[in-house]
Amino acid sequence: MRRRLFAALLIPLAAVPLAAQDTTRREGVRVGVEYSGVRPGLVVLPGSGLDSVRAVVRRDLDYTDRFEMVGGDFTTPGPGTTTEPGGSVSYGIYKTMGAQLGVELAAAPGGVTARLHDINLQKVRNQQTFTLPPEGDPGYRLELHRTADEIARWASGTPGFAATRLLFVSNGRIYRIDSDGVAATPVTAEGVTSLSPVWSPDGQSIAYTRLEAGRGGVIVQSLATGATTVAPGAQSALNITPGFAPNGRLLAFAHSDETGTDIFTSNVADRCCAQRLTVGRYADNLSPTFSPDGRRIAFVSTRSGPPQIYVMAVDGTDQELLAPFDYGATGASNAPEWSPDGAKVVFHRDVSRSPQIFLVDVAGRRVSQLTSSGRNEDPTWAPDGRHIAFISDRSGRRQIWIIDTETGRVRQLQTPGAARLPSWSRRLGRAAVATNP
């Protein structure tokens, strides 16, 4: 959905403040993130047992970037709380530490009870018991992430995004990883080159390009069973950069042959009806990404020279430039992805021959630059519309990094090898468990 030009595709948790790494300025383009908001202090209260649960929940809440996390050692009870029914919380102590909110976690039959304390009002604001599968169950971590997401909703009014996963490519194989950088698992077979992975809207399947015998078909694969089908119209030649429509029935992709590269759509639900949307005339059109309402598609085109970001109606009409550019100051633009709220499109653009992450405001066509340190490319949105994952070599190796577009905080997701082409899921349902081929 947000992929670089197809020629490049064929070439085989510490957080740091963005201001420390991305601070350059260029005339006419905003670079980096400015933040002046105030976040409430939140503490995960100590208690007996459940240390690993508290660690995961605290990290998930921290990664929302909606709270100032207070304290770090919750493994030793007191001063503060007990997890027994009727236990007390030393509200005064936590208020002195700068906390306005406190999260208490207590063991419950078959799960965990979570309580959100209002430190200033000295009372419990929310309480719920969450069912958790056994710790060794494949769905355990995702269910625990859902617990953290609900606590985030209690505390901020907006659910977290911990119960999501990212796809990425390493050595030609597609993996998925939890949003906190844990549990990297292969989802395609070893020895088969796979590229351009993208999630379906319901999180039950993925689409990607599988290269074999000099051709590349667009594959739709069930995560529950591993069953695969080839998208209609993508059986011959080279087909790349797939992207699902919001309804999950329509799939857009780029089909390349000797006359150029053009964008097609096909109905993968009914397995029919391939339709051509662009006419390349020896230009390349690729990397389609649907708007959240399904009415428009942003894409990459070389019709005016270097690749740039264009937009069209879902039927291929009304094609026009989306992201303004200036030759000389910036170069090729690639890998667009529409934000969940439809207001922005993220992409990467060359600056001094190094790709950087940019945003374009869809209504005003204003462009802003988010990164400037190292090479940064292939961005993908979190479902909260606030965080963006991308590939960067700023640590010396191509890895997944995540930026909060409001505070500018960045953090790294460690992967076993070099990573490419990430894709972030929506919040996942309970049936979204990937098989291990």
- pTM here? 0.89
**pLDDT tens readout for residues 197-220:** 999 999 999 999 999 988 999 999
Does residue 191 belong to any structural domain of this protein? yes
Check whether 437 has a pLDDT greater than 70.
no
Domain final residue, candidates 107, 140, 156: 156
Q: Are residues 176 and 260 in the same domain?
A: yes
Q: Are residues 252 and 355 in the same domain?
A: yes
**pLDDT tens readout for residues 403-416:** 999 999 999 998 98
Q: Are residues 26 and 168 in the same domain?
A: yes
**Cα–Cα dist 62/36, whole Å:** 18
Long-range contacts of 393-401 (CB under 8 A, 24+ apart): 394/21, 400/166, 400/168, 400/177, 400/181, 401/376
Q: Are residues 81 and 186 in the same domain?
A: no
Check whether 245 has a pLDDT greater than 90.
yes
Q: Are residues 213 and 323 in the same domain?
A: yes
Tell me the mean pLDDT in the region 94-99: 96
- pLDDT for 1 equals 40
Bridge-based pairing of strands 101-108 and 41-44 is parallel
Does residue 436 belong to any structural domain of this protein? no
Whole-number average pLDDT of the chain: 88
Q: Are residues 14 and 62 in the same domain?
A: no
Spatial neighbors of 131 by CB under 8 A, at least 6 apart, are 110, 111, 143
C-beta separation of 320 from 312 below 8 A: yes
Q: Are residues 187 and 93 in the same domain?
A: no
Does residue 169 belong to any structural domain of this protein? yes
Q: Are residues 199 and 122 in the same domain?
A: no
**pLDDT tens readout for residues 46-55:** 998 999 999 9
Q: Are residues 74 and 18 in the same domain?
A: no
Q: Are residues 118 and 199 in the same domain?
A: no
CATH code of the domain in which 135 resides:
3.40.50
Q: Which domain holds residue 360?
A: 6-34+161-424
Assign 3-state DSSP to the chain and report helix, strand, coil percentages, each to 5.
10, 40, 50
Q: Are residues 397 and 316 in the same domain?
A: yes
For residues 188-222, one letter each, b for 16 or more C-beta atoms within 10 angstroms of the residue's C-beta and e for the rest, the string is beeeebbbbbbbbbebbbbbbbbbeeeebbbbbbe
Query: What's the number of CA atoms in the CB half-sphere (13 Å) around residue 256?
Result: 23
- pLDDT for 27 equals 35
Check whether 302 has a pLDDT greater than 70.
yes
Tell me the mean pLDDT in the region 321-344: 92
Check whether 100 has a pLDDT greater than 80.
yes
Q: Are residues 268 and 342 in the same domain?
A: yes
User: pLDDT: is 78 or 93 the higher one?
Assistant: 93
Domain final residue, candidates 125, 156, 187: 156
Does residue 431 belong to any structural domain of this protein? no
Does residue 183 belong to any structural domain of this protein? yes
What domain count does the chain have? Answer: 2
Going by pLDDT thresholds of 50, 70 and 90, the confidence category of residue 285 is very high
Domain final residue, candidates 156, 179, 214: 156
